[in-house]
Homo-oligomer: A and B are copies of this chain.
């Protein structure tokens, strides 16, 4: 254990770390660094010490954190030349962005879990890291504890990756699981998630698909080697999904998940987050509760999947501490900035109107002879045909049509539905949900 090539192995050598933030994730990182303290020398070749933690208010900071480490002043950290690694777990765009940029400009490497920031300002952050020859690592930003960035950037980097698809938001997956398994409606399942701490007081970012959209932007950039920002991602949440939709999906051997789907196609990159019907025998269909999973398709490796906890204090800390150890190894080996930005292509983003999908459709229609023919004709004129269709009477006058279409462009399907909505024999368009194809 005492030689590592010609590198110095000196147990007195210590790499010093500072942390910005001591909330839920920060508390987890603090705990985990303490738990592994004695093994750091074996893992890195040097010891690791958490020297300072920036908090908003020292008196209001969680009591399990050593008060001697706390500061309310970022200048204490930026001016401390001993600090070589800064962990950013404060969240939000500002002041996180400014602090990270200042830290890197001062020659410090940064580990961040901040998806909101990276999904928008990723290029600026990675460029600044490169200019300063430091590391900027962010494994925790994408799927909590699940290793996905390093597998994409290293293990699978011999592949041309054409698809990244995932359940990357635990809150919505918990809600949909409750709706499916216990027949709850959305509002009840959301209330249940809030009680258990799985949903925040303002759950917008989760239930509207924004959180998942940010993660998809980051993963797509890495998988396809071309910058994708949050603004490029189409997002649609789960608030309109009903337990009745889920029951009807089940009758079609499908389940409904909030999926992030990213593809590298001939017409450009498509990235979108929306409720999606997937076959019950697809590996993602059995990913339930707060668990996340990311499915990756590469031309050599074929299908792979990465599964685990996408959020939570300790799983997120696992990813952050993994990154910190990696930076520390780079410091020890004098090879910071070993793998930086991997966006060496500049691919266009496909318009949402151009994406192609199957659609799940529920309609209430007037139940008289020829209606189904009329509907099929109108849809057919817009290239919409059916893979499956079930018609059942609801009352003497009204029937329900539940159908899955063949693959059609978003644009054609929208035009077809617009025309259909104006017809007198359509009582209600109950649901339109995309189907994985």
Query: Which residues of A are at the interface with B, using a C-beta cutoff of 8 A?
Result: 1, 3-6, 28, 32, 35-36, 39, 42-43, 130, 133, 139, 145-147, 150-151, 154-160, 225, 283, 286, 298-309, 312, 314-315, 317-322, 324-326, 329-330, 333-340, 342, 344
Contact = CB atoms under 8 A, between A and B. Distances in A.
Contact of A130 (B5, B324, B334): B5
Given A155-B319, A334-B335, A304 B3 contact: no
26 contacts: A4-B340, A5-B336, A35-B299, A36-B158, A42-B225, A42-B344, A43-B157, A43-B342, A43-B344, A145-B300, A146-B304, A147-B151, A150-B151, A157-B325, A158-B320, A158-B324, A159-B318, A301-B309, A301-B314, A301-B318, A302-B309, A303-B307, A304-B306, A330-B338, A335-B338, A338-B338
A3 B132 CA distance: 11
Contacts of A42: 225, 344
B314 A309 contact: no
B145 A150 contact: no
Nearest to A332: B338
B158 A147 contact: no
Q: Which 4 residue pairs are nearest across A and B when measured between Cβ atoms? A: A158-B321, A147-B155, A5-B133, A335-B335
A149 to B, nearest CB: 8
A225 to B, nearest CB: 8
B159 A155 contact: no
A35 to B, nearest CB: 8
B4 A304 contact: no
B315 A301 contact: yes
A20 to B, nearest CB: 19
Contacts of A150: 150-151, 154-155
Contacts of A36: 158, 160
A4 B337 contact: yes
A397 B409 CA distance: 68
Contacts of A283: 286, 307
Nearest to A134: B5
Contacts of A5: 130, 133, 336-337
Contacts of A312: 302
Identify the interface centre among A28, A39, A159, A342: most chain B CB within 10 Å of its CB.
A159
Contacts of A324: 158
A129 to B, nearest CB: 10
Nearest to A340: B4
